[in-house]
Structure 1
Amino acid sequence: MEHKLDLVALLGHVDPSYLDYQSWVNVGMALKYEGYTASDWDEWSRRDSGRYHPGECFKKWTTFEGTGNPVTGATITQLAKDNGWLPRSAHDRELDWDDEISGSSGDYVVVDRNWIEGKEIHEPAEWNPVQQITTYLSALFEASENVGYVTEAWQSEEGKWLPTKGASDRTAGELIELLHMCDGDIGDVFGDYKPEAGAWIRFNPLDGKGVKNENVTEFRYALVESDTMDIEKQNAVMRELELPIAVMVYSGGKSLHAIVRVEAANYDEYRKRVDYLYDICKRNGLAIDKQNRNPSRLSRMPGVERNGKKQFIVDTNLGKASWAEWHEWIEGINDDLPDPENLTDTWDNMPKLAPPLIEGLLRQGHKMLMAGPSKAGKSFALIELSIAIAEGIKWLAWQCTKGKVLYVNLELDRASALHRFKDVYAALGLSGHNISNIDIWNLRGKTVPMDKLAPKLIRRAQKKNYIAVIIDPIYKVLTGDENSADQMAHFTNQFDKIATELGAGVIYCHHHSKGSQGGKKSMDRASGSGVFARDPDALIDLVELDLTEALLMQEENKAVCSMYQHLFQQYNPSYLQEHVSQDDLLSAKAMEDHAKRAIPGQLAIAQEGVKQAVKSVRIRSAWRVEGTLREYPKFDPVNMWFQYPVHRVDDTGSLKDIDPEGESSSPPWQKATGKRKEKAKEERRSKAEEFEDAVNNCNFGEPPTVMDVMAWYGSTGKEVAERTVRDWIKKHGYEIDRSIGYRIVKKKEE
């Protein structure tokens, strides 16, 4: 399970000791929903030694049964982001240590090394070894962090001087203090070094117990060094690349040592960022030895001499201020965006508009969102749209262009999806002459996040000539926080990619936010960020109408009359023509009386037909379709009935004066009064629910004491007095049970 490692790695950024109880539980729920084990949750929870209890995670795990609104892996993703984790770009992918990042040769090339002019380096005018090393230590380390360094060296058979293990038992603060007291003799601080060999220093802080990668405490910096071009060009290229360099040191040999900020949260992220950094350097002419990648790597110590040449600081704080700023700059510098064009170039030769997909609503290659509540039959509406495009007929009130359509089914099992298509075809009275125009991609249980699904979809659809791709529903492939504008912009950009690559209309559905939708504009009803409503070229919104009893009775009368008329046409058509007036055709009572005379032998059938007609009306729901369009003028609302499994437009105007649910015709002052009363009622209920939540959760599910509840509220930033908690105990139906140690329990009904 590929995503399992990813989520466990994300939890490495989240310290359970900083989470409140509910957030800790949410992590467990999210892990279970995404297919992890209780052991994963338990292993992570052990990091909170103050609250961890063996076996508690496994006991709690069995109570997570799942709900209609599950806690998903997005919760863990957001917690990791809140604690400093940054999502990897497409180029910052999972790599093995010896992998190379693929890509075209022109990608990420900032520097043309054949044309760039070299930039000279200069030795300090006044040689001050103490100042050199002090500047280096101050730039890279906190005073309390241990520093690794090496002054002892040995000579190999080839005559090359190599460093020993060295020391790591002193902090940067201790070293700086000793340097200030050494009267210029750095050998008194670090030990004497061999002038022919120079000295070395490690650029990441250590734990003082060793000098290996596992001893690194902060993965802050990486070494960029290349000896394949002359010093002046190295200097120019590193500066041109805007590398976020903390310190640049001349090695006293053939290279510069740039200590670059990578600011990784852990070793795994350090490896990925260094791979990305080295790939960018390589593309721009800086071929770097792979051995330099280790976070415990030695670099050249400034302030010493090596074989007659000084090792010195060339510059500090070069390029971008941070890894994040540099990464964003690099990604943007080599974009594939088109150049601006002048309007005069096309004024007399305008490009053709994309052909319509849904006349008056949507063009081919554009995007449409359908939003609505759970009982609107959105999936059936999208199946109806698939059929309308395949057959080249009307969908609701709009004519569709005939062509091939891909329906991406993310929710239903394969059999249910196929049966739905056949049932809708039958309910619409269509024979299915063009069913070859419909492809269904069944992905229930196989879904991946949208940024992973989009390229897979494009690859499969590229040669199929689809004019429409319908994705139902998007919550199955949603990643990130749906209330975050930037995260949802990234999510919806995937639909742009599909539309652009395939030239097909992309249609997808999303759910409404909770609560009444009648008083809202169509753009404000979709759940989550406003990006959902503002991104598509067409927004189709469904809101339920509040049917009155009078209207339902009127519809029952119509249905019964229609049923009788059908029976007359079947069993006694001449009577219908000669004796039934236009007024009688609109009266269920009159038609019943006629039936007794005209078809006495079919009264049992008629009675059963009346029951079915009334039932068919009572199971209907009524809906109003509104919308916001980018390419076409605003349309008048379309009213329709949803009678499983299809929607039918209300051509008779029965629904035109019906208000949406939650929107009454009361005067504004009455609406305001009602809202205030409802708000007060909700506040009272929410306080009771909040107290119940506190009692249930503040002691890991066991009955709490008054002090436990007070501490729970305190952890949320809301301090409450003991007397207040005791008042709430009485007010919300609880009592203090002395027999179990004065703990709060639900009051027993008398």
Structure 2
Amino acid sequence: MNRLENKIDLIALLDYVDPSFLDYQEWLNVGMALKSEGYTASDWEDWSRRDSTRYNPGECFKKWTTFEGSGITGATITQMAKDNGWEPKSKSEHHELNWDDEITGNDEYVVIDKNWIEGKEISEPTMWNPVKELTTYLETLFEASESVGYVVSTWQNDEGKHLPTKGNWDRTAGELIQALNESNGDIGAVLGDYNPEAGAWIRFNPLDGNGVKNENVTEFKYALVESDTMDLEKQNAILRELELPIAALVYSGKKSLHAIVRIDAANYEEYRKRVDYLYNVCKKNGLNIDNQNRNPSRLSRMPGVERNGKKQFIIDTNIGKPNWGEWNEWIEGINDDLPDPESLTDYWDHMPQLAPPLIEGVLRQGHKMLMAGPSKAGKSFALIELSIALAEGDKWLGWKCTQGKVLYVNLELDRSSALHRFKDVYNALGLKPNNINNIDIWNLRGKSVPMDKLAPKLIRRAQKKNYIAVIIDPIYKVLTGDENSADQMAHFTNQFDKIATELGSSVIYCHHHSKGTQGGKKSMDRASGSGVFARDPDALIDLVELDITDALIKQQEDSAAASIYASAIQKANFDYFDEHVGIDDQQSISQMNTHAKRVLSPEILEQVESEITKVVQSIRVRSAWRVEGTLREYPKFAPVNMWFQYPVHKVDDTGFLKDIQPEGDSPTWKKNFEKKKSSTDRKKEQNESLEIAYESCTIDGSVTLDALAEFMGVTEKTVRNRIKNHGGFWVTDGEVGRKPDKK
């Protein structure tokens, strides 16, 4: 192996090995490995300096001459680096790839090159105000009611080093701030006098007031990032270049900066994972993090005190990304793994094959579908029906389905109810359970997590199952963010893309309608929340209820009853039916009842009337629905009319529902009448609508045309026209404001 290549590799690997975490023999092994691979004692000494506590100048050179023939090679350092998160650049450099190999790059999450970054100077405060330093820190990190842990007293170890005691933890941030403001600048009167040789410490996460251990931490808000192996100016520059969501950046009074980074973890387990991720990113970008600072109850340096003649002070607050989520998303997006543009010429004569259909004429395999409807539409039953249709290769609402394995993610029903519901639907559909092994149910009621956390867990469990569809019911259980926010909902629905891409399966989910009647709206405008819900899926299936009057219900009841009478009469005496029961008689329930009494025995008549009672009751409780759709891959289909008769939906093959209007959809004569409203009334309504939208959007600060258009559900051009007609607003560069009232 080329010595130069080897040397570059091993020096880079030592960035992952912290000497302060090694015992004496492991430290020696590093030196032996370096000498074995042709390095110098200076290389070993430069690395050893990172352990400021145990480093002794010249010791590495004394040991170096004793390392001849140790037998320890660079593989020792390689293994140490791997144990601390390092991964080889490409396994393909060493062996042929296997199917299970992962191709990774060592530049993942690398934002900066520490060798080229310019340092950012740190300046002490020109006006030293200890009270302001500490109160600023407390106000930035804590709520007034949260208990704060701090330490001003120390003890000395055998080496004479000052170490902190457990300190105090029984006062809230509000109490401390009030006392500091009343202290006349004497923080010692509030906290107790500290040793100016040692300085003082403070805990950056709130405590429960009963102790200072990890179990006493009440909220896992922050983590400490500290590195003391490079110039302060470089530390400052790297922390800022990394855009870390830093709440407070403090100078320790010695050779490190303490960055209090927003972690925003829900619990200790999530805290540990996020801190590991944070430290990994920092290490890859040249910060040799002190791993001892991982604990959420860890002490950090308190601003506003002095330490051996130097001040501990706040350098900056609230820098970098505003929160963990935005920083994490930014870091994840650093590596551009997007595909290159393609020339249409290359594919014109040999187009790639389209994904095969999952639901004929509606959805392709690997694509996404949203079912939207009100709470009484039986959406969950419809999705269970779809699961069964896919498992059995049967029809769903009249559409032929491809047969395959399905994962039904149940977020709403308890486990027993979900299992019973599947069996009930199978029975109601009249299907034999020949392929129930094609249906997996993941019961997550009471255990669900936000979609961005659920997606990777789902992918991991489904990776080798070969599902052709993943059905998530319902999404409000895993919804993250404000459903009316376009950017937040885009982030939410992106999780479905990840599932579809990773598994190669379709993702089908359901969502509820917005409030109010839906009949007058287009199918893609009915789902609640942001328009992203309508634009994101490849197929949008929408259910809207049809307005069935009492007269129509009575007509259905009479028709069903007459049909049952007719069937019984034919069975009992076909000749009588053929001779005496005319077409008009078959349209009258009273006439059919009379014929039945003449032909049927009392026992049979009682059975027939019992059957009629059941059928009539089922007609009274069923509801009528129209299925409409917005499709990306297929032509628009004709609306499908159906009945929901618990627990299944049945397509209306009779045409009875064809001309019935949805609820809230006015008949033609009424629409024409409403068009005759005066232009004055319409202008008044439009002005009121504009004013309501403006007041609502003002809550978020400045008002823009885009925000008004989103709120009102119209185009920006329409908003401009309404502003012009109103006369009380101005528009400049897309920003909207209200004109001052004329006196």
* TM-score, length of structure 1 as denominator length: 0.57
- Partner residue in 2 for 1:328: 326
* Whole-angstrom distance in 2 between the partners of 1:170 and 1:671: 65
Question: What is the rounded CA distance, in whole Å, between the counterparts of 2:412 and 2:156 in structure 1?
Answer: 68
For 2:342, the equivalent position in structure 1 comes to 343
Cα separation, 1, equivalents of 2:177 and 2:382: 70
The structural deviation recorded for 1:370 is 1.9
Q: Name the CA distance, whole Å, in 1 between partners of 2:432 and 2:149.
A: 79
Q: Secondary structure at the match of 1:297?
A: strand
What's the counterpart of residue 667 of structure 1?
670
What's the counterpart of residue 403 of structure 1?
Answer: 404
Secondary structure of 1:285's counterpart equals coil
- Structure 1 position 297 matched with structure 2 position 295: no
Q: How many residues align?
A: 547
Deviations 1:324-381 (A, max 9, x none): 2687345413336632531317644544332211112222222222222333222322
Quick one: structure 1 residues 416 and 568, their matched pair in 2 at CA, closer, same or farther if it must change by over 3 Å? Answer: farther
Residue aligning to 2:512: 511
CA-CA distance at 1:571 after TM superposition: 4.4
Kindly provide the CA deviation profile for residues 170-193 of structure 1, in whole angstroms up to 9, marking residues without a partner as x: 998899989xxxxxxxxxxx9999
1:216-227 equivalences in 2 (<5 Å) = 224-227=225-228
- 1:276-303 Cα offsets, whole Å, 9 max, x none, are 6545433433223355676753479999
Tell me, yes or no, if the aligned pair for 2:258 and 2:301 is still in contact at 8 Å. Answer: no
Note closer, same or farther for the CA distance 1:670–1:596 as it changes in structure 2 (3 Å cut).
same
Q: Deviations over 1:130-179 (max 9, x none)?
A: x65638986775499999999x999875476879999999998899989x
Return the offset for 1:663: 2.7
Change in CA separation of 1:121 and 1:465 when aligned onto 2, cut-off 3 Å: closer
Q: Please give the residue correspondences for 1:235-634 in structure 2 after superposition, counting only pairs within 5 Å.
A: 237-238=238-239, 240-242=241-243, 244=246, 255-257=255-257, 262=262, 278-290=279-291, 296-298=299-301, 317=316, 321-322=319-320, 324=322, 328-329=326-327, 331-335=329-333, 338-344=337-343, 347-348=347-348, 350-444=351-445, 446-478=447-479, 482-483=483-484, 488-567=489-568, 570-571=571-572, 603=605, 605-634=607-636
Query: Conserved in 2, the CA contact under 8 Å of 1:200 and 1:300?
Result: no
The alpha-carbon deviation at position 322 of structure 1 amounts to 4.5
- The aligned residue for residue 652 of structure 1 is 654
TM-superposed CA distance for 1:614, in Å, is 3.8
Residue by residue over 1:85-138, the C-alpha shift from the partner in whole angstroms, topping out at 9 and shown as x without a partner, is: xxxxxxxxxxxxxx999998958643565x7236468899xxxx8x65638986
Q: Secondary structure at the match of 1:542?
A: strand
Is the CA contact (8 Å cut-off) linking 2:155 and 2:165 kept in structure 1? yes
**Residue 576 of structure 1, CA deviation:** 6.5
Displacement of 1:623 after TM fit? 1.1
Change (3 A) 1:567 1:330: closer
* TM-superposed deviation, 1:495: 3.2
Give the distance between the partners of 1:557 and 1:147, measured in 2 at CA.
Answer: 78
Q: Given residue 632 of structure 1, which amino acid in structure 2 is its aligned partner? A: Y
Flag the 1:169–1:479 CA change in 2: closer, same or farther, 3 A.
Answer: closer
The letter of the residue matching 1:353 is L
SS of residue matched to 2:626: strand
- CA distance, structure 1, for counterparts of residue 599 and residue 287 of structure 2: 97
Quick check: 629-638 or 468-477, which moved more?
Answer: 468-477
Match of 1:495, SS state, is helix
- How many angstroms does 1:563 deviate by? 2.7
**What is the CA-CA distance between 1:562 and the residue it aligns to?**
3.5
The letter for the 1-side match of 2:664 is: G
In structure 2, what is the Cα distance between the partners aligned to 1:242 and 1:394? 53
3-state SS of 1:567 partner:
helix
Deviation at 1:225, TM superposition (A): 4.1
Is contact 1:281-1:287 (8 Å) kept? yes
Change (3 A) 1:199 1:630: same
Q: Is the 8 A contact 2:253 2:306 kept in 1?
A: no
Q: Secondary structure at the match of 2:629?
A: strand
CA RMSD of aligned residues (A): 5.7
Describe the shift of the 1:526–1:132 C-alpha distance in structure 2 as closer, same or farther (beyond 3 A): same
CA contact (8 A) 2:450 2:478 kept: yes
CA distance in 1, matches of 2:464, 2:496: 18
Deviation at 1:543, TM superposition (A): 1.7
User: What CA distance in whole angstroms lies between the structure 1 residues aligned with 2:266 and 2:610?
Assistant: 72
Q: Label 1:234 to 1:431 Cα distance change in 2 as closer, same or farther (>3 A).
A: closer
Shift in alpha-carbon separation, 1:431–1:519, aligned structure 2, 3 A: same
Q: 1:638-661 CA deviation, whole Å, 9 max, x = no partner?
A: 111222332222223211221222
> 1:585 and 1:220 mapped to 2: Cα distance?
75
Between the aligned partners of 2:611 and 2:220, the Cα distance in structure 1 is 77
CA distance in structure 1 between the partners assigned to 2:157 and 2:291 by the alignment:
21
CA distance in 2, matches of 1:654, 1:414: 38
Bigger CA drift: 242-251 or 324-333? 242-251
Q: Quick one: structure 1 residues 440 and 301, their matched pair in 2 at CA, closer, same or farther if it must change by over 3 Å?
A: closer
Task: Give the Cα–Cα distance (whole angstroms) in 2 for the partners of residues 260 and 634 of structure 1.
Answer: 55
Instruction: Say whether the 8 Å CA contact 1:467–1:504 is kept in structure 2.
Output: yes
Distance across 2 between alignment mates of 1:191 and 1:421: 70
- For 1:166 and 1:555, locate their aligned partners in 2 and report how far apart those are by CA, in whole Å: 80
For residues 325 and 556 of structure 2, what CA distance do their matches in structure 1 show?
63
The answer to whether the Cα contact below 8 Å between 2:484 and 2:529 also exists between their aligned partners in 1 is yes
Matched, 1:134 2:132: no
SS of the residue 1:343 aligns to:
coil
For 2:548 and 2:177, the matched residues in 1 are separated by: 79
The 2-side partners of 1:479 and 1:465 are apart by 28
Could you tell me which runs of 5 or more consecutive residues in structure 1 were left unpaired when the two chains were aligned.
1-98, 179-189, 677-750
**TM score, norm. by length of structure 2:** 0.57
Matched residues in 2 for 1:519 and 1:615: separation? 30
Tell me the secondary structure at the aligned position of residue 376 of structure 2. helix
Structure 2 gap segments, 5+ residues each: 1-82, 88-103, 140-147, 169-175, 187-191, 682-743
Q: Secondary structure at the residue paired with 2:564?
A: helix
Question: Which amino acid in the other structure matches residue 645 of structure 1?
Answer: P
CA contact (8 A) 1:202 1:298 kept: yes
Q: How does 1:56-205 map to 2 (within 5 A)?
A: 106=106, 109-110=109-110, 116-117=115-116, 119=118, 134=128, 142=136, 158=159, 200=199
SS at match of 1:642: strand
SS at match of 2:655: coil
Encode CA deviations 1:562-604: one digit per residue, 9 max, x unaligned: 4345436644567777887777766667766776787679655
Contact 1:386–1:438 under 8 Å retained in 2 = yes
